[in-house]
Amino acid sequence: MALRDKKDLKKVVRSFGYAFEGLIQVIKTETNMQIHVCASIVVLALGAWCQLSAMEWIIVLLLIAGMFSLELINTAIEKAVDLITKTHHPLAKHAKDAAAAAVLIYACFAVVIGIIIFGKYLLE
């Protein structure tokens, strides 16, 4: 591996480190993310108990990953808006509300899909 390749590898490793730092920071400080993490643990345990099929696991894992990703994006938008303006501004409120709405819509559909997947196991 050439010296340049080692530097590139260090940059990649460092960027993963920053990503993990961001994830841990959001989990530690954002109540909604803590709720998502707890709900995910319950869903994963329930999935194991119900012995979900491979396709059901794929759907559940995609829903969890999507929920985490949207919550991280929502938090990033909120923090960026807060950094730009400390005063109440209608456009800042609109940006934060729209990001929160994206999380809400995804969460609602995730619950509906969860009911569809788990319903047949829990209602037997």
Q: Which long-range contacts (CB under 8 A, 24 or more apart) does 79-82 make?
A: none
Please check whether residue 27 is in contact with residue 34, taking contact to mean a CB–CB distance below 8 angstroms.
yes
124 is catalytic: no
DSSP for residue 121: H
Catalytic residue among 30, 71, 78, 124: 71
Residue with the two structure tokens 């530097």:
7
> What positions carry a catalytic annotation?
71
